[in-house]
Every structure is written in C-alpha cells, then in structure tokens.
Amino acid sequence: EARWRSLTPYSAAGGAVLLLVSLGILAIPTRSLVISFGGLLGILLGFAMLVPPITIILLKIIAPSSRRPLGMMASMAARGVSASLSRTAVAIASLTIAVSITVGIGTMVQSFRGTVERWLNTTLAADIYISPPSLVSSRLQATVSPDVFDRLVSSPGIERYTTFRSVEVDSPQGPVRLVALDTDLTTFNRPRRFKDGDPAEIWDAFQRGETVIISEPFAYHQNLHVDSTVTLRTNQGETDFRVAGVYIDYSSSQGVVMMARGAYDRFWSDRGVSSLSIYASPGIDVADLIGTLQQAAGDQQELRIRSNADLREASLQVFDRSFAITSVMRVLAIIVAFVGVLSALMAVQLERRRELGTLRALGFTQRQIWALITSQTGLMGLIAGVLSLPIGLALAAGLIFVVNRRSFGWSMDMQIVPEVLLQAVALSLVAALLAGIYPAIRMAMSPPAESLREE
C-alpha cells in the first residue's frame, strides 16, 4: 500500500503530460478520425491517471470533515477507502471513466438534438409539405406528376407555395446532390440559416443564376468557401458557379449545392418538381387544407402530405432512432465498471478480514459492518460520479467540435443538460452500491473468531 501511494505523484505527472499531448493531437489540423479518436483516448487515459491522486486529496478532506455532521461511520468509511487505496482507487478510476463516457455521449447527443431541433424550426417555414415517398428520407428521388402538381397548387386556401427539385448531377469531383429552389426572399432569408454570406445581399445574383449556395458539409468536404467556384456538368457542358453563401444543413452528411430554379431550368431543361411547400392563407385551418390537398391529389399518385408539426416530429423520431444505440453503449460501459468495482471490493474483503473481525470482536454488529461497507461503496460511487462530470464534458467537447466536425462537416453548439449530469452521478452511486451488496453481506456474515483465526 505504501509503495503504491509513493507512485501517485508520478501518476499525476504522467496524467498531466498525457493530457497536454492529447490536446496537442486534437489540435492537429487533420481530417483523420484515427488521430482524433487517439487524442480522445489519450484524454481519457490522462484523466484516469489523475483520479488516484485526486481521490487521495478528496478523502483527506472528507474523512475529518464528515465526522461531525455525518457521524463516526462516515469518517470510518472515508478512512477505510483510503486505507485500501491500491484497490479502491482502481475501482474508482474505472467507474469514473465508464460514467464519464455516458456523460460525454449523452451531452453530445443532447447537443446534437437541440441543434437539429433549432435547425428544423428555422428551415421548416411552410405549413404543409408534399412529396412522393422516397427510399432515402433525406433524398427526394421521385417526381410529382405535372397533372397532380397543377391540381395541388390550384386548391383553394393556398396563399403561396415553394417548389424544390432534387437531383444528382455530375462534377469533376464526382456526383453532387443539387437542389433547385423556387422561393421568395422572405423564405430565403430565414434567421440563423446562413453560416457565411448575407442572404439579403446575394439574393439578386442567386435569382439570376449567377451564383449558388452550398451546405456546410459540402463546403467542408470540398474545402470551399464564399467566392469559391463549383464546377457542374450541365446540358451545356461544364459550367462554373460562384459560391455566394454557405448555409446550415443537417439533412445530408455529404452536402448539397442549391441554385435558383430559373438557372436550373436554363442549364438542364428539366421542369420536374420533387417536393413543394404550401403556405396556407390567413384563417385557413391546416388540417382542413391537408384534406383538400389529399382530395386534389386523388389516386393518381401516392404522396406524403404532412403538416409542419408532423414533419418536425417525424424528423426528431428518426434522429432518436439513429442514436438509440448510444443507450446500449452506456449500459455496457456501466456493466464493465460494475464488474471492476465488485472485483475490487472482493479483494478488499480478503485484505481487511482481520480488521473487520476485530471490529466485530469489539462489539460491531452485522448491521453496522454492513452499513460501514455500504458507506464505503457509496462514497466510492459518489467520488467517481463527481469526477466523471468534467471528464465527460471534456469528452463531449472533443466529440462535438473535433470528431463530429471531421466526420460530417457539421457544426453544432454544445449544450450542457443538467439532467445528464445528475443522472451520471446517480448512476455512479447506484452502480457502486449494487456492486457492494454481495461483498457487504459476505463481510457482515463472516464470524469474527474465524476471521481472526485465519489471519
């Protein structure tokens, strides 16, 4: 035990160095995910090496200060954890890292969800959205029948509408997803829609077909920016388009090029419509208008006609299903930490057999022994839970600002959700308490005479 304690300063120094090196790795301007995940792994290992010395400091504070408000049992629990630190520190470190992973993933998912929800509120401006069914939800591959389109837009109760044409075109860099947009300045200039470029300033040139706008992922993957040039193979040959703006978009990880409908018709001679957005006239009930549009479409073509609220809810459901696997990952991490805590406590039971036997001989009841061991495991879980919070938030920052950016080209705001942090501390505490049930029962039920005799 003394030899192990003598190594803790080296553990602290090594952890600090590893953290600095890992931060330097994450700062390398590269798109390699291997390097990015290597930096995150180094951060986790660096923090893990810092857990034992931090635990020693915390226990030195807790042991004397807890006796008066919480009683002798709490002080004994803190000293007991400290006395077997070569075992308990490893268990605390493993539980800390496991819970920090749940904090990091949970914060990343909640941040992503919040960002997507704000993006949907900005993007979905119309009352009703109409499109043919598509195998890929983010790609409108089918075309609305011209006859059906005419009947739809002629329906009563419509104030105005916007059309979209989504196709895949060739470019020197490979296939490009192109969206032709027929809209007005009010819809085009939605708040917080553009990352670079002023939509009010670029509107005229965009409408004339002199410029295009590109999504943030496309700009990242193709290394483009405002005033760059995008080359597309049109019916008139290869044509260069100046990039006037970069807009925020989470519908495609590869990115999209968007141009005015008039320019698209001029270069491709395609009058098809992939989807349209309907704006209801003032005083018109959206549900009633949906019924009118369904009657107008008839049985000639299958269409999805959804309200703004329904489309937003469906989009968030797709998001939640996509990240459902993260819940399984968090459970697996806790199971691994649970086994580590249980193993450490079983080893502590063997090491402290004589000490616990002496306490029983001095008059400690089985219930008091059980309470002592449970207090120790609870303290270990509480320390691990508290230490996991800064580690988890650091991991979340790496996932959001480094890994996510380099994987998809998306930018998002980090959103710290108090529920995630509170759940992490509670999860750590419960996991430690559950892991301590069996060792506590074994220690409490062990006859004192047998423990002293075996020792």
Q: Per-10-residue mean pLDDT for the chain, 455 residues long?
A: 73 91 90 90 92 84 63 70 76 87 91 91 89 67 87 91 92 91 76 80 85 93 92 91 91 89 89 91 92 89 91 88 78 75 70 69 76 83 91 94 90 90 89 79 69 55
Radius of gyration for the chain, computed over Cα atoms and rounded to the nearest angstrom: 31
Q: Which two tokens stand for residue 318?
A: 């797709």
How far is Cα 63 from Cα 80, in angstroms, rounded to an integer?
A: 10
Backbone angles phi, psi at 26, to 5 degrees: -65, -25
Reported residue count of the chain is 455
How far is Cα 163 from Cα 165, in angstroms, rounded to an integer?
A: 7
Amino acid identity for residue 356 in this structure: L
How far is Cα 223 from Cα 246, in angstroms, rounded to an integer?
A: 12
| Positive or negative torsion for Cα 204, 206, 211, 215 | positive
Q: Which of 44, 60, 10, 95 is nearest to 344 (CA)?
A: 95
Torsion of CA 86, 88, 90, 94, to 10 degrees: 180
How far is Cα 91 from Cα 95, in angstroms, rounded to an integer?
A: 6
CB distance 87 to 387 below 8 Å: no
Question: Residue ranges per domain, the chain?
Answer: 2-120+322-454, 133-302
How far is Cα 399 from Cα 394, in angstroms, rounded to an integer?
A: 9
CB distance 81 to 379 below 8 Å: yes
How far is Cα 98 from Cα 338, in angstroms, rounded to an integer?
A: 9
Q: Which of 335, 389, 340 is nearest to 91 (CA)?
A: 340
Residue 404: how many other CB atoms lie within 10 Å: 18
| pTM for the model | 0.83
CB distance 399 to 104 below 8 Å: yes
What is residue 98's predicted lDDT score, i.e. its pLDDT? 86
What is residue 135's predicted lDDT score, i.e. its pLDDT? 56
**Non-local CB neighbours of 398 within 8 Å, separated by 6+ positions:** 26, 36, 39, 40, 43, 104
